[in-house]
Amino acid sequence: MLDNKATQLTSNHKGLLEYWANLYFQIHVLGSPTATIEAKKRDLNLFINFFQASLGSEIIDLWTPSITKAFQGYL
């Protein structure tokens, strides 16, 4: 799950969705207004949970356009 601290995930985790979500969060979200940080954190965690529940995995290579569409429908 995402938090406001630097990720503890290492390069060994580069194949996992959570690694990339944390990297995005640190680069593009931290430093934004508090409400933006909380909204992005909530949305990213929702997607990570949906991805894991749908695929039974967090391997980023399993991400397809159909997963994105299914998530949009889920929202």
- Other C-beta atoms within 10 Å of 32: how many? 12
Tens of pLDDT, residues 37-47: 999 999 999 99
- DSSP assignment of 21-56, as one string? HHHHIIIIITTS-HHHHHHHHHHHHHHHHHHHHHHS
pLDDT band for 9, please (50, 70, 90 cuts).
low
Q: When comparing pLDDT for 12 and 64, which is higher?
A: 64
For residue 2, pLDDT over 80 is answered with no
Kindly report the pTM of this predicted structure.
0.82
Which tokens is 3 given?
A: 């938090």
Which residue pairs, CB below 8 angstroms and at least 24 apart, start in 40-44?
Answer: 41/2, 41/3, 41/4, 44/2
